[in-house]
């Protein structure tokens, strides 16, 4: 257990190395409270969570001030974390026929009571969109030990009042700038094929709707009567019903099959397609329908990659590790509820929680699983087991006492204290100023 604790302390020092002195110690305390599950115990309240660590009142105030007013950017922390994981050599990126998956997803931290929150995000629990602080997470997917793992690569905020459709389009443009030539963007059904093609994003794998309809990228032959055709023939990968009439599926161009354990998986491939409202010579893509009898609905994938159906299936399956990042932050660390309302802190606290949850999952995957009790005979290296073990340890003993991560020894004797420090004053030329001068 001591190796795990010192490993956490070492990683936090690498992440906070570029943060100003004093502020980095406050963020170190916040990370300790998150990783040990204090926010889960106190339902997202910052001050009780920090006090449960054994911090003094001044240290608690400094940590809260570092969150709200500190001069640091989350993007720098994410970059430092990504670099630290790659340097340790435990992470192995997945690669399928020359392409490495880079998953992307929208994450919402719901704040129904937050004032001046103009952004919304859909949740299936309420079956509607609720006020939320929304982020776009871009992550590199691979494996750490025997566990699939996603390393955050970029964390983008939604601008106040920005519609989610525009935010997704901005995400596609950001993905285009982030992707390397041997990387492919893995997108969920929330993205539209029209937006992906309009953004100029190359090397993508997108989950399409079950009623997807496209067109051939070539014109059909002229039948000798009427106007000449301007659009290609319609392609419907799946059958559907219109009123009482059944519309059959279009025969595929190719088929493929493989086995996943004892289950046979079949794929139907449609090549050289364009959008249903596009003419030939528009940006083209492929459609692959994957049928697995373990699932009721077939999987419809849209892509511009020239790889096999099996590689596409493996690439899209590697999108699921990105769902573990918000799960660790919300359910495992207790960041689903928050009591911060500042313009910066409402974004910074969820960002730190996402980073802390990913750190906890990485540490758990790198070490032997910690059993909850004698009954836990088949323990797995999960972040929940590690969090319960860290809750019994005082992480402040691991804080570096000297070096760059320390309290800033500033002279504050000349500054006002107590009520005088935050007393509000009127304008210099107002009537109250005249009375004070008299």
| 205 membership: H or E segment, kind and range | strand 204-207
Structure tokens at 10: 């070492």
Listed residue (7, 4, 64) closest to 30, CA to CA? 64
pTM comes to 0.89
Does residue 260 lie in a domain region? Answer: yes
Kind of pairing between the strands at 100-110 and 128-144: antiparallel
Same domain, 292 and 234: yes
pLDDT value for 432: 44
pLDDT value for 376: 83
Same domain, 208 and 293: yes
Whether the CB-CB separation of 275 and 197 falls below 8 Å is answered with yes
CA 254 to chain centre: 35
Kind of pairing between the strands at 254-260 and 245-247: unpaired
Does residue 294 lie in a domain region? Answer: yes
Report how many domains make up the chain. Answer: 2
Same domain, 7 and 70: yes
Same domain, 278 and 349: no
Whether the CB-CB separation of 390 and 35 falls below 8 Å is answered with yes
Rounded Cα gap, residues 57 and 34, in angstroms: 18
Whether the CB-CB separation of 370 and 392 falls below 8 Å is answered with no
What does the pLDDT look like over 8-66, one tens digit per residue?
888 998 999 889 988 999 999 999 999 999 999 999 999 999 999 989 998 999 999 99
Domain boundary (243, 278, 301) is at 301
Domain boundary (278, 301, 324) is at 301
pLDDT value for 425: 61
Give the Cβ contact number of residue 38 at 10 Å: 24
* Concatenated DSSP letters of 254-309: EEEEEEETTEEEEEEEEEEEEETT--TTS--EEEEEEEETTSSSPEEEEE-----H
Does residue 358 lie in a domain region? Answer: yes
Q: Classify residue 221 by burial, with Cβ atoms within 10 Å: 0-12, 13-18, 19+.
A: exposed
Same domain, 208 and 297: yes
User: CA neighbours within 13 Å on the CB side: how many for 398?
Assistant: 22
Does residue 51 lie in a domain region? Answer: yes
pLDDT value for 401: 53
All residue ranges of the chain with pLDDT < 50 are 427, 430-438
Does residue 378 lie in a domain region? Answer: yes
Rounded Cα gap, residues 17 and 12, in angstroms: 8
Same domain, 346 and 294: no
Place of tokens 């494996």: 143
Does residue 264 lie in a domain region? Answer: yes
Does residue 376 lie in a domain region? Answer: yes
Does residue 283 lie in a domain region? Answer: yes
Residue range of the domain that includes 255: 204-219+230-301
Domain boundary (301, 330, 357) is at 301
């Amino acid at each position: 257990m001591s190796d795990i604790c010192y490993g956490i302390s070492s990683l936090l020092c690498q992440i906070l190395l570029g943060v100003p002195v004093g502020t980095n110690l406050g963020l170190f305390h916040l990370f300790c409270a998150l990783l040990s599950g204090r926010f889960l115990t106190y339902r997202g309240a910052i001050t009780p969570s920090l006090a449960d660590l054994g911090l003094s009142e001044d240290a608690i105030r400094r940590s809260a001030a570092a969150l709200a007013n500190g001069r640091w950017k989350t993007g720098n922390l994410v970059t430092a974390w990504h670099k630290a994981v790659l340097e340790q050599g435990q992470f192995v990126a997945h690669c399928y026929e020359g392409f490495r998956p880079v998953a992307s997803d929208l994450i919402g931290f719901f704040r129904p009571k937050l004032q001046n929150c103009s952004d919304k995000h859909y949740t299936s629990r309420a079956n509607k969109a609720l006020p939320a602080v929304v982020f776009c997470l871009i992550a590199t997917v691979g494996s750490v030990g025997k566990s699939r793992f996603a390393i955050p690569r970029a964390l983008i905020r939604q601008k106040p009042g920005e519609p989610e459709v525009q935010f997704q389009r901005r995400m596609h443009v950001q993905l285009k700038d982030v992707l390397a030539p041997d990387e492919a963007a893995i997108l969920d059904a929330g993205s539209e094929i029209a937006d992906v093609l309009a953004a100029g994003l190359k090397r993508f794998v997108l989950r399409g709707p079950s009623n997807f309809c496209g067109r051939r990228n070539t014109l059909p032959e002229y039948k000798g009567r009427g106007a000449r055709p301007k659009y290609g023939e319609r392609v419907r990968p799946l059958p559907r019903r219109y009123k009482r009439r059944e519309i059959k599926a279009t025969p595929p161009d190719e088929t493929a099959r493989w086995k996943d354990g004892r289950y046979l998986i079949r794929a139907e491939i449609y090549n050289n397609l364009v959008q249903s409202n596009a003419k030939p010579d528009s940006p083209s893509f492929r459609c692959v329908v994957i049928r697995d009898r373990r699932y009721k609905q077939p999987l419809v994938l849209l892509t511009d990659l020239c790889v096999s159906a099996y590689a596409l299936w493996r690439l899209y399956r590697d999108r699921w590790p990105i769902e573990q990042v918000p799960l660790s932050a919300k359910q495992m660390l207790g960041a689903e509820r928050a009591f911060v309302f500042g313009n910066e802190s409402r974004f910074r606290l969820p960002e730190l929680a996402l980073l802390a949850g990913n750190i906890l999952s990485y540490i758990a995957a790198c070490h032997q699983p910690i059993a909850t009790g004698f009954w836990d005979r088949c323990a797995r290296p999960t972040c929940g087991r590690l969090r319960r073990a860290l809750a019994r340890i005082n992480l402040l003993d691991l804080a570096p006492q000297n070096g760059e991560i320390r309290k800033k020894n500033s002279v504050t004797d000349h500054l006002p204290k107590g009520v005088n420090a935050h007393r509000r004053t009127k304008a210099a030329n107002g009537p109250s100023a005249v009375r004070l001068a008299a």
